[in-house]
Amino acid sequence: MIKVALVGTGNVSEHLKRAISKTSEIEVVQVLNSRNEDLSKSLKKIGRQLPDIYIIAVSDDAIPSVSQHFSHTEKLVVHTSGSVPMDALPKQMRKGVIYPLQTLSKAEKVNFKDVPLCIEASQEDDLELLRKLGQAISDQVFEISSEKRKYLHLAAVFVNNFTNHLYSIGAEICKEQQLPFTMLHPLIKETARKIKFLSPEDAQTGPARRNDTGTMQRHMELLNNEKDKTLYRLLSDSIKDSYGKKL
Amino acid sequence: MIKVALVGTGNVSEHLKRAISKTSEIEVVQVLNSRNEDLSKSLKKIGRQLPDIYIIAVSDDAIPSVSQHFSHTEKLVVHTSGSVPMDALPKQMRKGVIYPLQTLSKAEKVNFKDVPLCIEASQEDDLELLRKLGQAISDQVFEISSEKRKYLHLAAVFVNNFTNHLYSIGAEICKEQQLPFTMLHPLIKETARKIKFLSPEDAQTGPARRNDTGTMQRHMELLNNEKDKTLYRLLSDSIKDSYGKKL
């Protein structure tokens, strides 16, 4: 049995707790509030049920200060961030990372088995421990260095945060025209589904892909703010560049 | 029984044919090649099985020239384009539009029942005819004017073409780092799924949303070309603007 203490009570902590509760090999022995004063009290009381791993699931900014509380433990301490390197944890500690590459919110159930987990550790046996933990809750466990992980996080910003912003612009256009945004739902779903069997490069369609300057010009005229016009032009240029068609 | 002739043999024609073949109320009596010389020969021979509706499913650019062949018919003639107005069809003709708001490729099966169909016609009884046709093949039929349809098409470019390009950039980052792009598939799927229960505005997360300038700065440094840097900055600025957080 691997004993885990979760530090932090946010989305990632909550999802890890739920996923772990479904396994028989791992147990959450404690969930610690990450506020510094509460944490130092809790750690004094933690006593008997000492965990094998502390998982610090807090915001990126809070990792350095929260992890300081663990600088004297002999146990493995990991964080869960995509963009923070492992070495942001205090020196001379057994340390690692377990980063779930998924957008997680408390209200939403996800099938954690499908969530890719990126693991990293400073020692080989700790990597094994994380692999055991990871494989108990997910079918997708990858050993990823801090260096590579930051690129994954960057790619995730493009396909998740930026994509969602394009959905927002689509929703805004619909709203202004009193059209239901739900009309675009099947298209959004299919666009995402396509990548399973077609590379995004091969799946690319649209006015910019065929260098249809007439349609692009008319679209620019329909947009009623400079911000969206600039985005439209830049994204279209970027598509044209990718396919070797410069205006 | 509504008799349909399809003009053009591309993706939209193929998908309409398949969808119609599953109904008992509609029949495809002919599929005409849209090349001008073939078309004028075929139209001379069409004879007995005269269709009730000609559906011109050709590229936007070809609509004016192809539709000229039908300027003397007394039947209803419609095109299938999102961005071309109904009035691009010859004057004094019974005309209309049936625009499937979905990305369609021949290789891929889609459940046509879920494809939103935007219909428009110059006469009330023709609109009824199109509604009957539409409802036989889809559960989502909307009456949409040419004016509104062009905005829908514009919104579709954002959520489909531009989104797919962001997937391409994500795939490119993965490739350069020798990381499998499949690691991002669950995130892409979940990002698209979320809009069903959360508006994209409420679903927005990421460094730009929280104005995390440190992470944005580090991301910019990881990008190795000016095009992606500019896109990153512009999309981040656009998110910040949307949430009232200007740098």
Verify that A115 and A159 share a domain, yes or no.
no
Distances in Å between the Cα of B127 and the Cα atoms of B54, B104, B133 are 14, 24, 10
Percentage of chain B exceeding pLDDT 90: 87
Residue B245 banded pLDDT, cuts 50, 70, 90? very low
Verify that B94 and B75 share a domain, yes or no.
yes
Would you say residue B124 lies in a domain?
yes
- Residue A28 domain boundaries: 2-144
Residue B179 banded pLDDT, cuts 50, 70, 90? very high
B220 touches chain A (CB under 8 A): no
Verify that B137 and B83 share a domain, yes or no.
yes
Would you say residue B105 lies in a domain?
yes
Verify that B136 and B53 share a domain, yes or no.
yes
Verify that B26 and B129 share a domain, yes or no.
yes
- Supply angle C-alpha B223, B225, B231, rounded to 5: 75
Chain-centre distance for alpha carbon A79 = 13
Would you say residue B247 lies in a domain?
no
Give the residue from B166, B59, B183 showing the smallest Cα distance to A169: B166
A199 touches chain B (CB under 8 A): yes
Mean pLDDT of A118-147: 98
Would you say residue A247 lies in a domain?
no
Instruction: Give B217 to chain A, closest Cα distance, Å.
Output: 11
Residue A246 has what pLDDT? 41
Instruction: Give B70 to chain A, closest Cα distance, Å.
Output: 25
- Cα distance between residue B9 and residue B16, in whole Å: 10
Choose, out of B165, B179, B194, B198, the residue to mutate when testing the contact with A (most A CBs < 10 Å). B165
CATH of the domain at A179: 1.10.1040.20
B12 burial level (CB within 10 Å; 0-12, 13-18, 19+): buried
Residue B27 has what pLDDT? 96
Question: What is residue A161's DSSP assignment?
Answer: I
Structurally, how many domains does chain A consist of? 2
Would you say residue A53 lies in a domain?
yes
Cβ contact, residue pair A160, B238, below 8 Å: no
Would you say residue B75 lies in a domain?
yes
- In the listed set A104, A121, A144, which residue is the last one of a domain according to the structure? A144
Q: In which element (H, E) is residue A117 found?
A: strand A117-121
A93: how many CB neighbours lie within 10 A of its CB? 18
Residue B40 has what pLDDT? 78
B residues 49-108 lying closer than 8 A (beta carbon) to A: 60-61, 83, 101-103, 108
- In the listed set B95, B121, B144, which residue is the last one of a domain according to the structure? B144
With 60 as the cut, is the pLDDT of residue B246 above it? Answer: no
For residue B169 the two structure tokens come to: 């950039």
Verify that B100 and B18 share a domain, yes or no.
yes
B176 burial level (CB within 10 Å; 0-12, 13-18, 19+): exposed
B193 touches chain A (CB under 8 A): yes
Verify that A16 and A136 share a domain, yes or no.
yes
pLDDT in tens, A5-53: 999 999 999 999 999 999 999 999 999 998 877 787 777 776 556 899 9
Q: Which conformational region is residue A233 in: left (phi greater than 0), alpha (psi within -120 to 50 degrees), or beta?
A: alpha
Residue B48 has what pLDDT? 55
With 90 as the cut, is the pLDDT of residue A80 above it? Answer: yes
Verify that B172 and B137 share a domain, yes or no.
no
Verify that A14 and A108 share a domain, yes or no.
yes
Cβ contact, residue pair A235, B165, below 8 Å: yes
B2 touches chain A (CB under 8 A): no
- In the listed set A128, A144, A160, which residue is the last one of a domain according to the structure? A144
The answer to whether the beta carbons of residues B165 and A235 sit under 8 Å apart is yes
Cβ contact, residue pair A186, B140, below 8 Å: yes
**A contacts of B173 (beta carbons < 8 Å):** 151, 154-155, 158
Residue A47 has what pLDDT? 58
CATH of the domain at B40: 3.40.50.720
